[in-house]
Amino acid sequence: MPLSHLKFDVIIHGGATPIALGEKAYMAKFGHANPNLAVIADLRKVGVNVMVCGNALGDMGFTPAEVNPDIKVALSALSTLVIQQNQGYALMRM
């Protein structure tokens, strides 16, 4: 199947939530640069839609303004997963 026929979305949630932070917020929280920015940029370059769970952000004390601008904030991972599976997406936990 040609890559042009595939669509991939990633939703970050739970303990992985901080990887979605922008440079400034990540530096303030962890004291060093976000090592995930290059991978996220590479995913975006090939058309992967990267999202983070808004509920997880709030639970961890972060705001949408602190998120990497390449990442969309979803209302919640759970609702996004249900909606997308109803649209034909397949869930692949990683």
81-84, long-range: CB < 8 A, 24+ apart: 81/11, 84/9
Q: What confidence tens digit (pLDDT) does each residue in 5-22 have? A: 889 999 999 999 999 999
Q: Which residues of the chain have pLDDT under 70?
A: none
- Is 94 inside a domain boundary? no
Give the rounded percent of residues in the chain with a pLDDT score beyond 90.
87
Q: What's the pLDDT score for residue 3?
A: 75
- Is 91 inside a domain boundary? no
Q: What's the pLDDT score for residue 14?
A: 97
User: Which CATH number belongs to the domain containing residue 72 in this structure?
Assistant: 3.40.1260.10
Question: Judging by DSSP bridges, how do beta strands 9-12 and 49-53 pair with one another?
Answer: parallel
Q: Report if pTM > 0.85.
A: yes
- Is 35 inside a domain boundary? yes
**How many domains would you assign to the chain?**
1
Give the rounded percent of residues in the chain with a pLDDT score beyond 70.
100
- Is 93 inside a domain boundary? no
CA distances, 47 to each of 2, 6, 14, 58, 87 (Å): 14, 10, 24, 27, 18
- Structural domain containing residue 19: 3-86
- Is 9 inside a domain boundary? yes
